[in-house]
Amino acid sequence: MARRKWESSPDAKTWTFHLVKNARFHNGDPVTAEAVRFSFVRTLKLNQGPAWMLSDFLKEDGIKVVNDSTIQFNLTQPYAPLLSFLPWWYVMNPKQVLANEQGGDLGQKWLTTNAAGSGPFKIKRWEQGVLYELEAVDGYWKGWPSKDHIGGVIYRIVRESPPSAPRSFAVRPTSSRACRATTSIRSRRCRGSSCRTSRA
């Protein structure tokens, strides 16, 4: 697997990123530079979620696909927090998003209960304000340290209080294997997973 790398211009306004070539979305489609471009342009157009982080320094026409695995960001001016903000932006499968677009919403409604990401976890079950379950992706393109990472629910967030009472949530691993995986989620902060990269 190729190692991720990037370069910046001397004036720190042009940043070029080289993507790993074996990355795959959950449906098997490759994670390409065009998918990255689409995802960033989509976020800027919607002007929601993490858009505030870069909207003053990055415009739609400043995002260029160099080739299938190379993307370039041309900023309007140097911006020191760029690298620290990029992992917070959603990267999603354009094919899935556009296939489920409703009334020009760029897939927002569909993504409320579905995922189109490439990370190690995917949504198993979700009930707004009540329950949220994730499970490991079998065949995740980065691989897993052991077979114990695969199978079953990774963690569950449930509402402890009745609907009329103030909300209180708890994280409940469903097995000893899930407990280890939950620790892994916390250490990763879900970076690159569907909970960070495919929901907006």
Contact 18, 78 (CB under 8 A): no
What's the pLDDT at 145?
Answer: 75
Neighbours of 153 (CB within 10 A): 18
Q: Could you tell me if 92 and 21 lie in one domain?
A: yes
Greater confidence (51 vs 112) lies with 51
- Return d(Cα 99, Cα 186) in angstroms, integer: 32
- Report the DSSP beta bridge partners of residue 131: 127, 158
For residue 13, report the phi and psi dihedrals to the nearest 5 degrees: -105, -25
**C-alpha closest to that of 197 among 39, 18, 24:** 39
What's the pLDDT at 180?
Answer: 41
Q: What total number of domains does the chain contain?
A: 2
CATH number at residue 82: 3.90.76.10
- Letter for the amino acid at 41? V
Domain presence at residue 70: yes
**What mean pLDDT comes out for the span 3-11?**
85
Q: Could you tell me if 107 and 133 lie in one domain?
A: no
Domain boundary among 85, 111, 137: 111
What's the pLDDT at 81?
Answer: 92
Residues 6+ apart with CB under 8 A from 94: 34, 35, 38, 39
Q: Could you tell me if 150 and 190 lie in one domain?
A: yes
pLDDT-above-70 percentage for the chain: 70
Give me the sign of the Cα torsion angle 132, 136, 139, 140.
positive
Predicted confidence (pLDDT) per residue in 152-179, tens digit? 555 555 555 555 544 433 444 444 444 4
Q: Could you tell me if 73 and 27 lie in one domain?
A: yes
Q: Could you tell me if 28 and 84 lie in one domain?
A: yes
Predicted confidence (pLDDT) per residue in 12-58, tens digit? 999 999 999 999 999 999 999 999 999 999 999 999 999 999 999 99
- Checking if the pLDDT of 189 tops 60, the result is no
